[in-house]
């Protein structure tokens, strides 16, 4: 799947009207997820992403940030300035 198809899928599933918003959501979620992944997990995830999104996951991190699923949703909610319910979707 290429980036355009991947972002379109995110737009469709999330109900976002704007493709730019879907792209921003995608990048924000991947950056937040990258903070909590080990190098091995990041490598596994990057292998499944379109080429142009792999670099987001490959960004080195100073320290692994452990967070529960609820904390992850809170972090995404804060980053995107959306409700917890919206972030969970």
Residue-range domain boundaries for the chain: 3-88
Alpha-helical (H) ranges within 47-83 are 51-57, 69-80
pLDDT in tens, 20-58: 999 999 999 999 988 888 888 888 999 999 999 998 887
pTM assigned to the model: 0.78
Burial 15-50 (b: 16+ CB within 10 A, else e): ebeeeeebbebbebbbebbbbbbeeeebeebbeebe
Q: Is residue 60 over pLDDT 70?
A: no
Q: What percent of the chain has pLDDT over 70?
A: 94
Residue 13's pLDDT band (cuts 50, 70, 90): very high
Domain 3-88 fold: Globin-like (1.10.490)
What is the per-residue pLDDT for 80?
A: 87
Q: Which whole number is the average pLDDT over 54-76?
A: 81
């Amino acid at each position: 799947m290429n980036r355009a198809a991947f972002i379109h899928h995110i737009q469709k599933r999330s109900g976002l009207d704007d493709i730019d918003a879907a792209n921003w959501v995608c990048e924000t979620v991947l950056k937040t997820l990258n903070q909590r992944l080990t190098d091995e997990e990041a490598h596994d995830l990057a292998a499944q992403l379109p080429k142009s999104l792999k670099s987001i996951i490959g960004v080195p991190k100073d320290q692994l940030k452990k967070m529960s699923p609820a904390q992850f949703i809170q972090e995404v909610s804060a980053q995107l300035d959306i409700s917890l319910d919206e972030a969970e979707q």
